[in-house]
Structure 1
Amino acid sequence: MRKLLILGAGTAGTMAANHLRTKLGTDWTITVVDRDRGHHYQPGYLFVPFWMEPERVVRDRVPLLADGVTFVEGQVALVRPEHRRVELADGRVLDYDWLVIASGTRPDPSLVEGMAEALAGKDAVHHFYTLDAATALRDALARFDRGRLLVHVSEMPIKCPVAPLEFVFLVEDHYRKRGIRHQVDITYVTPLDGAFTKPVASEALGGLLKDRSIRLAPDFAAERVDGPGRRLVAYDGRELSFDLLVTVPPNVGQQFVMDSGLGNDAGFVPVDKHTLRSVEHERIFVLGDASDIPTSKAGSVAHFATETFIDNFLAAVDGRPLPNVFDGHANCFIESGRGQAMLLDFNYDTEPLLGSFPAPVVGPMALLKPSRVNHLGKLAFEQIYWRMLLPGHRLPVPTAMSMAGKRRPKE
């Protein structure tokens, strides 16, 4: 009996288990390990501070896994590739023939001086990258009705790099609806040289910030958070005062990845970016946010990469050449307030462009332009996620990025 072990029962891990259970024969066991039974719909974290009930975000992991997949609840302590063995924190040991690491990423505020202490106070400094944090931020926004609000990104990469931009647009709309927008000064603080990483998207998103009277503070590398003094201090000496700071802490890989010597300095596992196979251990594949692939750490990447991975894994275990190439495809909605959203579609080689998606001209979704259809698409994805994506049903969206409908500005 051959053993497949999957570390992580999030988006990528659950998808991989469900897809492979239908592909692998009865001579395979599939075991999925995670620290608890709560599967979180992480895009919901963005909405919890504004309208989504926290309990709506969480479901039991076990019913989401296909029949024949074994779930083990436990904290991973170490991976020992030389022995094909995983050690859990409680002393249990799990052997494997093939290993999939899909353990995601986590916020680590201790990497910025003063940030962890300021967040622990749950007063003027908050984030929304966990459910508890998003719920505390909801209460903070309800209390906050005037002053200077900073929305801050510590460094890249982060899980869902557009989420901080979405938050800044939603919080602007939140105060507009309350009729007190004029009392709240909002600044978006980023280590990038613009609103986003690529020129076309950066221009479009920067223009929307300007239209909404949201200040932009680019090239801001935060050295420390002065919680008592309510100041955000950069390495170059610049300081921004705040009455409420919504920050995005540095994101890193899981501790067991670091302790096992499998990760880079940030704890992400180096892989071949086209096959998702570990560059050091041929019997290890890495899915979702846990890898070092040079594209967004986002649910859409986990989706497209996992679908690409399935045939590659089946080939690998048979000793055949890997047939599929992952192109870094990412497809991200950006909530822009006013009941609208933007859409980005890009990959390793092509930046987000203007146009329509998925079809030329007719769309129906606009790329890099706010629209009601995009917003409805983002809201609908919650049910698509639970009912189609996780169970392993293929969505009517191409895994590889297409240039159909895309155009560069002024073409």
Structure 2
Amino acid sequence: MKNLLILGAGTAGTMMLNKLHKELDKEEWKITIVDQYKTHYYQPGFLFIPFGIYNKQDVTKPKYDFFPPGVDVIFSPIDRIAGEENKVYLEGGKVLNYDFLIAATGTQTRPSETEGLKDKLWYKDIFDFYTIEGALALHKRFKDWEGGNLVMCIPELPYKCPVAPIEFVCLAEAYFAERGMKDKVNISYVTLMSGAFTKPVASKMLGDLLEEKNIKVIPDFYLSHVDNENKKIISYDEQEIPFDILTIVPVNMGSDMVKRSGLGDDMNYIKTNKFTLQSDQFENIFVIGDAANIPTSKAGSVAHFAGEILMENILAAMEGRALPAKFDGHANCYIETGHGKGALIDFNYETEPLPGTFPLPGIGPFGLLKNTKMNHYGKILFRWIYWHILLKGKELPIEADMSMAGKKRI
């Protein structure tokens, strides 16, 4: 019997597990999935927790709920992948053999990478919302906060869900306006980018939106360190920004296991062919989701679209055929903008987010680079789609390749 080994039972790994379990001959293939943790988090929901929109129960379920029967499940930290040996070494000494391996080990926040971040103000006046612990701590802090300078800082690229910091400041503006505190809170969006977003057309639209909401955008700020004593963030060129509450996207890095395996770049992301999703080093290793170093967003939608491509290619590789499918870097993100509205962007490696309608030309019902109530409903509906369709590897009526239908070049 041949062995398919999946490392990581987050969004990407669980989705591929379910897809391949349906496709592979159970008498020919044994499927094993390995993960360190037993709880699955709906990470896009962390954003809503500080504002009391979601609670912990809304974003957590047991990982076992999404594993199909007959799969070998191992909960253990991973020591390393030995690609030359077709083996994976787990902590504690257990060794797993594989014929094909899918690496879906994700990305993690590393607050200790920034000087002064994880100091005496951590989870008191300095917070992330990319972990359940940070989101819950910030919710508690907001409850009795009387106002001041709220700073949202992006110190490094890449990071999970690139639009989340924009969503955060928009939701914060709405939250404090609803509490009658709008005039007591000054919100700043501080980023190393030259604008609100990485792509010019979207950056202008989103930057204009933030300006309308009186949210100050401070671009080209390269964070050096956090001064806990004086409550300031300081850049390498000695710009200083004071804060009363600092929310931050900690540096993101791939798993240390990737470094120990010799498969990664300097941020521990696995070197991956951006079209085939095959490891640059081993033909029987494929990579999906945030673990890959491909030049696209680290977002759940990318894992979904890439999963369609990976499915075709790994089945071809198992049969000794040439890899037929190419991933175009498709990403699709709803952006919650507060006050019951949202925006939507759809793009890939070659095409930046453009205005228009999605998914149907001229009909929508969603508006690209538009701030509408319908886009907000799309964002809220996605949680149900995530739990009931995406994780279970079911088909969605959206093509893996990005379509230009409904988009307008400007």
Band the TM-score falls in, shorter-chain normalisation: over 0.9
Aligned positions, number: 408
Letter matched to residue 272 of structure 1: N
Deviation for aligned residue 1:118: 4.8
The letter for the 2-side match of 1:403 is M
CA contact (8 A) 1:33 1:71 kept: yes
Aligned ranges 1:150-161 → 2 under 5 Å: 150-161=151-162
Question: In structure 1, what residue type is equivalent to 2:105?
Answer: S
Aligned to 1:108: 110
RMSD: 0.9
- Residue deviations 1:234-274, cap 9 Å, x none? 00110000000001111000110111111100000111100
8 Å Cα contact 1:252-1:267 kept in structure 2? yes
Equivalents in 1 of 2:347, 2:323: separation in Å? 23
Deviations 1:319-342 (A, max 9, x none): 101111100000000000010110
Q: Structure 1 CA distance, aligned partners of 2:145 and 2:229?
A: 17
Determine helix, strand or coil for the equivalent of 1:323. Answer: coil
Per-residue CA distance 1:272-294 (angstroms, 9 max, x = gap): 10010001111110000000010
Q: Secondary structure at the match of 1:353?
A: coil
- In structure 2, the residue matched to 1:179 is 180
Asked whether the 8 Å contact 1:124–1:227 carries over to 2, the reply is no
**After the TM superposition, which parts of structure 1 deviate over 2 Å for at least 4 consecutive aligned residues?**
none
1:89 paired to 2:91: yes
Residue in structure 2 matched with residue 205 of structure 1 by the alignment: 206
Q: Deviations over 1:49-105 (max 9, x none)?
A: 112111221111112011222211011111111111111112221111111100100
Say which SS state the counterpart of residue 349 (structure 2) adopts.
coil
Name the residue aligned to 1:39: 40
The 5 A counterparts of 1:1-400 are 1-25=1-25, 26-50=27-51, 51-118=53-120, 121-400=122-401
* Identity fraction in percent: 48
* Partner SS for 2:118: helix
Q: CA deviation at 1:154?
A: 1.2
Is residue 5–residue 99 contact of structure 1 (8 Å, CA) maintained in 2? yes
Tell me, yes or no, if the aligned pair for 1:107 and 1:250 is still in contact at 8 Å.
yes
C-alpha distance after superposition, 1:135-186 (max 9, x if no partner): 1111111122211110011111000010011001001111010011100000
What do the CA deviations read for 1:371-409 (whole angstroms, capped 9, x no partner)?
A: 111111111111111111111110011111000000134
Which letter does structure 2 place at the counterpart of 1:81? G
| Cα drift, residue 109 of structure 1 | 1.1
Deviations 1:202-241 (A, max 9, x none): 0000000100000010000000011221010000110000
What amino acid is aligned across from residue 34 of structure 1 in structure 2?
Answer: D
TM-score (norm 1): 0.98
Q: Matched residues in 1 for 2:313 and 2:191: separation?
A: 37
Q: Bigger shift: 357-366 or 64-73?
A: 64-73
For 1:153 and 1:271, locate their aligned partners in 2 and report how far apart those are by CA, in whole Å. 25
Question: Unpaired runs of 5+ in structure 1?
Answer: none
Q: Describe the shift of the 1:168–1:118 C-alpha distance in structure 2 as closer, same or farther (beyond 3 A).
A: farther
The one-letter code matched in structure 1 to 2:349 is: Y
Q: Quick one: distance in 2 between partners of 1:92 and 1:144?
A: 49
- 1:31/1:70 contact within 8 Å kept: yes
Structure 2 CA distance, aligned partners of 1:262 and 1:55? 36
AA at the equivalent of 2:393: G
Greater displacement, 89-98 / 341-350? 89-98
Q: How far apart, in 2, do the equivalents of 1:218 and 1:34 lie?
A: 38
1:233 match: secondary structure: strand
Q: Distance in 2 between matches of 1:261 and 1:143?
A: 47
Secondary structure of 2:195 counterpart:
coil
State the alpha-carbon separation in 2 of the partners of residues 234 and 408 from structure 1: 36
| TM value normalised by structure 2 | 0.98
State the one-letter code of the partner of 1:397: I
Q: Distance in 2 between matches of 1:86 and 1:348?
A: 32
Code of the residue aligned with 2:7 in structure 1: it is: L
